[in-house]
Amino acid sequence: MLLYEAMTAKSTFIDPAIQEYIIATVVRENPVLRALREETARHPHSRMAIGPEQGALMQLLARTIGATRYLEIGVFTGYSSLAMALALPKDGYVLACDVSEEYTALARRYWDEAGVAAKIDLRIAPALQTLAQIRSDGVEPFDMAFIDADKSNVGEYFDAALSLVRAGGLILVDNVLWDGAVLDAATSDRDTQALRALNAKAGRDERVDVALVPVCDGLLIARKR
């Protein structure tokens, strides 16, 4: 079994050998990120984490737009938030939303180890509640948002993020291919329906420019006009 396949196989539609080649050849993974990925791979819900090639893409996007403020909806063990905190400048700010003290305790440990904990404002509460609160507070717009939480509310998260990101900023949504389930007409559970609806909505939403990239489990990238 390939190393990547054993640690965090995130896609059923990309050849694992190609994934391993990408990671081995072009991904510059911080040693703390790698250590977190290895520990997360032993977690019973390890597939909830993003892959390292997706983390590298997200870092590149953040640097390309000069992001300093990043919003994350769904933290799990903190790989994506750590990757982004490392990509942001010294005065960067990450607002991270999650409901689990247990999962994010692991994230906090690696944030500390990487020296980026001071950049990260973790809010433990239902994300829609946190998003409503920060909108009410009139916070400064974010440059980039990443949505990787429960899928049934993904459309609401997208709309909330759109209201909180600046013009020219990016909204990324994870798992939008849902292991291929979005293609299967016989699959009609709430999560799959919500992802299908978001993809269709984003594809015709005149408020954004959009692309769907088949990295890991599918990444929707929307640029706010």
CATH number at residue 55: 3.40.50.150
Q: Kindly write down the DSSP assignment for every residue of the chain, as one continuous string.
A: --HHHHHH---SSS-HHHHHHHHHHH----HHHHHHHHHHTTSTTGGGSPPHHHHHHHHHHHHHTT--EEEEE--TTSHHHHHHHHHS-TT-EEEEEES-HHHHHHHHHHHHHHT-GGGEEEEES-HHHHHHHHHHHTPPPEEEEEE-S-GGGHHHHHHHHHHHEEEEEEEEEE-TTGGGGGG-TT---HHHHHHHHHHHHHHH-TTEEEEEE-STT-EEEEEE-
- The pTM for the full model equals 0.94
- Whether residue 115 is predicted with pLDDT greater than 60 in this model: the reply is yes
What's the pLDDT at 10?
61
The total number of structural domains in the chain stands at 1
- Whether residue 4 is predicted with pLDDT greater than 60 in this model: the reply is no
What's the pLDDT at 15?
86
Q: 22 lies in which domain range? A: 3-224
